[in-house]
Structure 1
Amino acid sequence: MSTTLCCNLFVVVAAPMNSILCCKLFSIRPFHFRNVFSTIAHSQSLVSLFDSSKLNMSEADITRILKLAPQFQNPRALLKVEQFIHSLKKHGCSEVQIAKIMKTMPRLIGRAEGTLEPKLKLLEDFGFVDRNLAKLLTINPSILCNSLNSSLLPKMVFLKEVFQSQDVLVKALLKSPRLLSFSLEKNLKPSFAFWQGWGFCGTGLFSFLRVQPDVLSRTSLTPARVDLIHKIGVDKESKMFKYIVSIVAVSRVETLEAKIENLKYCGLSAEEIWQLFGACPLLLKFSKENVKKKMDFLVNTMELPANYAVKHPGILTVSLEKTTRPRFLVWQKIKSINDFNIAFFTVLLMTEARFVSKIIKGHPESQTLWTIYENAISDASNRTLRTESSTKP
């Protein structure tokens, strides 16, 4: 009797199965023992290996790995798994991160044999060490499926030239790790040339990609996106233009159009909206709910015209609950006590320390103002906690 079959029979006997039923099953379909119970035995071997490696793998995880990578049913393949785990640990990956990588891409274990160490060493040479390397692999383990010399190395060399420094390269790839999944010749190089054609070059291109590295995966702008960029009306030579393009390039047109309609609903004309985005393109990234709350507070509570936001767009970029509302309540109280000639927007732009020392502590009614301010901050924190608890399942 073969060693494998003996092992399988041992598993069956050890398992909580009726012995008579086992005998009947063996007499009818002996090969069933070789196939099915060998899988059980190897599954147990994987369990032992993962336990010794301190990987928190459930039986369901192990079953999935064996299903997607059946080659690990061979006992000799367990050595590959062990080497894979050892290599990742040596390069700074924790047990939790290794388990996540293996569960995400079990096929990677076998494919990485022999080339895993050189690939990890290459990534380290380009600045990915310890925590950064572990984070990159956890986010996108398919990076290790790239061929070392014909794919991974040329991409890393090209991207380092694009981002001009190793530190920026590391930050860019941690922000957009899927860049290493794109073809160098079909995607990355044509995209780089495309953005140069849009007027981005030298330090301008570098700044553009540093803000939004994911645009390097795009080789075109739809007519709707181009139309939005032109309507905002910022000069091409302006640094603001590059920032606007970087946001529009990676945003859904439908989402941007919804934000524009939302501002119209808040009382701004189309011309004022384009002027607002041109002065403060950061607003293109804010949710329409966020902007609507701030505009409602501006118009209904502060009783200011909607176009005040166009003249002072900074009022829409700070936190309503933590900054605008508490400071407005203090400012409003001071105005009711005496003639106060400091504009609210000036108060809003102050640092926290300057606001407290100049506006609150420097006033005769400082105790009253301080109480108003603290209560407003406390109410904001309570509202945040209530919102968070209501959204939890």
Structure 2
Amino acid sequence: MISKANALVKLRFLFFPPQDLFLLPRKPVSKTLLFFTTATYSTKSPSQVERAGEEVIGHPKNYIEVLTKWGFSENDIRKISVCRPSLRKADVAHLQSKLNTLSGLGISRTDLVKIINCRPRLLNCRISQSFDEQLKFLVTLFESREELVRAIVRNPSLLTYDAHNRIKPAIAMYEEVGVSKVDLIHMLRTWPTMINRTSFDEEKMEYIRKTGISHDSKMYKYVVTVIGISRQETIRQKVANFEKLGLTEEEIFRLFGRLPLALTLSVDKVQRNMTFILGTLKLPAGVVAQRPYLLYSNLETVLKPRVLVAEKMQEMGLNLRSKGATLLTALKMTEKSYLKAFVECHPEDVANELMEFYRNAKGVKRLAEASKKNILKGFPF
């Protein structure tokens, strides 16, 4: 236990020099006390101390004081310092100016804190270099400053992409395949990675044609975007996985046309859901082409518990309202609608028993599920 504590102390001093630790107290204190450690002995009145505190915060001496002024918490500053240790040598005036520039776009302080937390490198990027030209281009692209701010909050990297070498070529590719400017702006907000991950060639264009979706369809922009940002190797792998599970090529691409996000599902998720559909529900593989939600639904919290409730109702001799086609409807419903239609419709004592069974069924986790760690990399789009 002692060795672990010593290790933590060493790590603390590794990431934060003594002067940084002095400015980051262990317990939350007011901003005035954060920068005036001798306030206890001061003979000044409270109003004088408050004014003095404001003056110091107004002229920060290091990056910690700058970030504190802008509303970053102690924990925020620690994480940013670990990601960007070069900030300790940053020019305070330039750092302050950079935050002022971002705020001047109309980004609120709350959003600004979120953006920097997820993109700490913005504090090191030279966003002021040719920034006016970049900003003018982006405002023209999104047609209003308000829309641009929404896009930046969604994807802060828009401020760092090279307008001529990155943004314009990507936009040109989508316009060439028939995505309108209105749809393009919508997709830029919905799928920020399309700027730096898009590529089209004859093979990808053939995939789009195989979906059978027309340019006028509302789903066209989604199909084109998902295929555009996906690697060819990934598409081939996922198509092969569906084929192995019993779908024909025609059914697979029809599925992508109905639900483009099916192409983003992991091989593991598709295999587990399809195994359940084929093995437990005894349905043909082609049924997912007409009912894509069977692939997208969570196996542990939606599919399995609701099927188990249907089996429980059969054991209790109840009228199986969730049998056959009705069962497939139950698997598509929201939690509230499902409970109302298939559980709460029974007498109180039966409904309570079914509800308890349903809750227990949802509580049964997949093997080693509790030990899984969700690791977020980059901005949580």
TM-score normalised by L of structure 2: 0.73
Does the 8 A contact of 1:266 with 1:306 survive in 2? yes
Work out the CA distance in 2 between the residues paired with 1:313 and 1:201.
Answer: 27
The amino acid of 2:339's aligned partner reads: V
One of 361, 365, 369 as aligned partner of 1:387: 369
Match of 1:203 in 2: 182
The amino acid of 2:369's aligned partner reads: T
One of 255, 260, 263 as aligned partner of 1:281: 260
Work out the CA distance in 1 between the residues paired with 2:257 and 2:73.
Answer: 45
| Structure ranking higher in helix proportion | 1
One of 96, 101, 115 as aligned partner of 1:136: 115
Does the 8 A contact of 2:155 with 2:189 survive in 1? no
One of 353, 375, 385 as aligned partner of 2:336: 353
1:374 aligns to 2:344 (yes or no): no
Q: Provide Cα deviations, 1:121-179, integer angstroms capped at 9, x if missing partner.
A: 11012233323212322333332344454333433443344345556544543443333
Match of 2:22 in 1: 52
Match of 1:188 in 2: 167
What displacement does 1:261 show? 1.5
Match of 2:301 in 1: 322
1:217–1:55 Cα change, 3 Å: farther
Q: Provide Cα deviations, 1:232-274, integer angstroms capped at 9, x if missing partner.
A: 2211222211112222222232222222112112111111111
Match of 1:86 in 2: 65
The amino acid of 2:248's aligned partner reads: S
Q: Provide Cα deviations, 1:364-392, integer angstroms capped at 9, x if missing partner.
A: 6x745654553344244231584222679
| Partner SS for 2:365 | helix
Deviates more, 1:326-335 or 1:274-283: 326-335
What displacement does 1:212 show? 0.7
What displacement does 1:120 show? 0.9
Work out the CA distance in 2 between the residues paired with 1:185 and 1:111.
Answer: 29
1:186–1:350 Cα change, 3 Å: closer
The amino acid of 2:185's aligned partner reads: F
1:281–1:387 Cα change, 3 Å: same
Does the 8 A contact of 2:151 with 2:189 survive in 1? yes
The amino acid of 2:260's aligned partner reads: P
Structure 1: tracts of 5 or more residues without a match: 1-42, 57-79
Work out the CA distance in 1 between the residues paired with 2:161 and 2:274.
Answer: 41
The amino acid of 1:230's aligned partner reads: R
Work out the CA distance in 1 between the residues paired with 2:138 and 2:100.
Answer: 17
| Partner SS for 1:200 | coil
Match of 2:379 in 1: none
% same residue: 30
Does the 8 A contact of 2:71 with 2:113 survive in 1? yes
The correspondence of residues 217-296 of structure 1 with structure 2, limited to 5 A, is 217-218=196-197, 220-296=199-275
1:213 aligns to 2:192 (yes or no): yes
Does the 8 A contact of 1:326 with 1:373 survive in 2? no
Number of positions where the alignment pairs a residue of Structure 1 with one of Structure 2: 325
| Partner SS for 2:364 | helix
What displacement does 1:196 show? 2.3
| CA RMSD, 1 decimal | 3.2
Work out the CA distance in 2 between the residues paired with 1:265 and 1:195.
Answer: 32
Does the 8 A contact of 2:259 with 2:292 survive in 1? yes
Does the 8 A contact of 1:164 with 1:206 survive in 2? no
Does the 8 A contact of 2:214 with 2:220 survive in 1? yes
Does the 8 A contact of 2:173 with 2:200 survive in 1? no
What displacement does 1:363 show? 3.2
Does the 8 A contact of 1:102 with 1:108 survive in 2? yes
The amino acid of 1:387's aligned partner reads: E
Q: Which has the larger radius of gyration?
A: 1
Work out the CA distance in 2 between the residues paired with 1:346 and 1:219.
Answer: 37
| Partner SS for 1:239 | coil
Does the 8 A contact of 2:61 with 2:92 survive in 1? no
